[in-house]
Amino acid sequence: MANWDLLLTDVRIATMQRGAAGYGAIEDGAIAIADGKLAWLGPAADIPDLTAAETRSLSGRWITPALIDCHTHLVFGGDRAAEFEQRLQGTSYEEIAKAGGGILSTVRATREASPDELFDSAMRRAQIMAADGVATIEIKSGYGLDVANEIKMLEIARRIGETSGLSIQTTLLAAHAIPPEFEDRRDMYIDLICDELIPEIAARKLADSVDAYCETFAFNPEQISRVFQSAQSVGLPVKLHADQLSDGHGAALAARFNALSADHLEYASAEGIAAMGKAGTAAVLLPGAFLTLHETQLPPVDHLRNNNVSIAIATDCNPGTSPSCSLRESMALACRLFRLTPEECLAGVTREAAVALGLEKDRGTLEVGKRADLAIWDINHPRELSYWLGVRPLADLLIAGRTVNLN
């Protein structure tokens, strides 16, 4: 019997290992896979004298860790293209909201859609993401806003993982917006989340983490603290939509609960970022939403760097503020809008995105023992992954050592 299932030769490898300079690159390398994990990698000259069931020469192509989209709202009913057009024709957000538009129109469409309709549209988006090199996708609920529909969304997210072969991480985001039925009694909605929804999804193992939206028009820190305490009481880690449109002290709140990540952060204070650094809470930057909302307040990238905060990048795929299914487009935008370097951007969708999901022991870099999630690219250097716009350089995607069908 062979020692390895698969040996990839004549490859250039960007290991993205923490602390390694220059993408952790290995020129003229080889990678061996056994039982879905990386069994060996290094310069071709050092390949151990072992046997492989299959050997593939990749003609000098680059291999990076498969990409990880650590913040999406992939499951939703309908779209908001008409609203997008109206806003650019001069209609204000308030007028659109009064006419039944905005996030509550997505809530309505999601509640009305059948599970199969929601599954089909989300599955299409997941496949588009995979064609850009993404193997792991985090999917949030948050357009159901009642027990039955939040559960429906999480079940669909789980089904996408089971059907597609992609790795799906699910997040309960019931505290995303105020449901219309609870407009004047927000604390009672928080009661519902803490007393009914979280115990139910924990018992059925439907979510891997719990998220909330901290903003003046959404939920305040006291309400979010209750949701987080409830999540942690059943062993679920938390994350937070924080300081996107104003400084609501979301970064510090996330750090206080040792959140996996605080996401957006355009208005986060220096103190909040320092607290995140101490707590090991990752920052997830979402340039697609920044672009779509015509934001001008940049996230505090230098503070994040100086406090050694993990900087991840994600699509925030959602119908209202970031209708994007391309994580490579997010990398390109993060370079251009936030002035991240191409290497920071690749780390942001691999190593640091794994940190933002609590998966860093299992994936995000190419190191022996980690899952063999590999993106194989037709490029001359990994910096091109942030450079090109509108190009699809992915040659192959492997998840746990198996090639994913991208059609």
CB 307 within 8 A of CB 271: no
Contact status: 316 vs Zn ion (CB under 5 A)? yes
Residue 233: how many other CB atoms lie within 10 Å: 12
| 211: contact with Zn ion by CB under 5 A | no
The one segment of 23-31, 313-321, 373-381, 389-397 that binds Zn ion by CB under 5 A:
313-321
Other CB atoms within a 10 A radius of the CB of residue 46 amount to 11
With contacts defined by CB under 5 A, name the span among 48-56, 113-121, 309-317, 337-345 that binds Zn ion: 309-317
CB 171 within 8 A of CB 210: yes
CA distance 352 to 314: 11
Q: Which CB sits closer to Zn ion, 286 or 400?
A: 286
Strand partners, 394: 377
Residue 283: its H or E element: strand 282-285
**Shortest distance (Å) from residue 71 CB to Zn ion:** 6
Smallest distance from Zn ion to CB 326, Å: 16
Choose between 316 and 373: whose C-beta lies nearer to Zn ion: 316
Both structure tokens of 2: 């062979």
396 binds Zn ion (CB under 5 A): no
The first and second tokens of residue 305, run together, are: 């760097």
Give the H or E element holding residue 59.
Answer: strand 52-65
CB nearer to Zn ion: pick between 5 and 69: 69
Of 3-11, 250-258, 308-316, 379-387, which part binds Zn ion (CB under 5 A)? Answer: 308-316
266 binding Zn ion? (CB under 5 A): no
Structure tokens at 329: 């487009």
Shortest gap between Cβ of 164 and Zn ion (angstroms)? 21
Is beta strand 261-264 parallel, antiparallel or unpaired with respect to 238-242?
parallel
Nearer to Zn ion, 316 or 344 (CB): 316
Q: How far is the CB of 35 from Zn ion (least distance, A)?
A: 35
Burial (CB count within 10 angstroms: exposed 0-12, middle 13-18, buried 19+), residue 171: buried
Complex with Zn ion: residue 215 or 316, whichever CB lies closer: 316
With CB atoms as reference, the residue minimizing the distance to Zn ion is 316
Half-sphere exposure at residue 390, Cβ-oriented, CA atoms within 13 angstroms: 0
Binding of Zn ion by 5 (CB under 5 A): no
# binding residues, Zn ion (CB under 5 A): 1
Q: How far is the CB of 264 from Zn ion (least distance, A)?
A: 8
Q: Show Cβ contacts of residue 319 under 8 Å, excluding neighbours closer than 6 positions.
A: 73, 76, 78, 79, 80, 106
Complex with Zn ion: residue 41 or 178, whichever CB lies closer:
178
Q: Which stretch binds Zn ion (CB under 5 A): 30-38, 123-131, 230-238, 310-318?
A: 310-318
Check residue 138 for interaction with Zn ion (CB under 5 A).
no
What is the Cα–Cα distance from 154 to 149, expressed in whole angstroms? 9
Of the listed pieces 92-100, 190-198, 244-252, 315-323, which binds Zn ion according to CB under 5 A? 315-323
The least distance separating Zn ion from the CB of residue 143, rounded to whole angstroms, comes to 11
**Token pair for 48:** 């151990």
Stretch that binds Zn ion, among 25-33, 174-182, 311-319, 332-340 (CB under 5 A): 311-319
**Phi, psi (5° rounding) for residue 252?**
-65, -40
Cβ atoms of 208 and 157 within 8 Å: the answer is no
In 144-249, which ranges are continuous DSSP H helix? Answer: 147-164, 186-192, 198-203, 221-233
Beta bridge partners of 322: 318
| Residue closer to Zn ion (CB basis): 69 or 316 | 316
In the complex, the smallest distance separating the C-beta of residue 75 from Zn ion, rounded to whole angstroms, is 13
Which among 163-171, 314-322, 354-362, 394-402 is the span making contact with Zn ion, rule CB under 5 A? 314-322
Token pair in block for residue 21: 């300079």
Nearer to Zn ion (CB atom), residue 70 or residue 404: 70
Q: Which is nearer to Zn ion, 77 or 401 (CB)?
A: 77
Per CB under 5 A, residues contacting Zn ion are 316
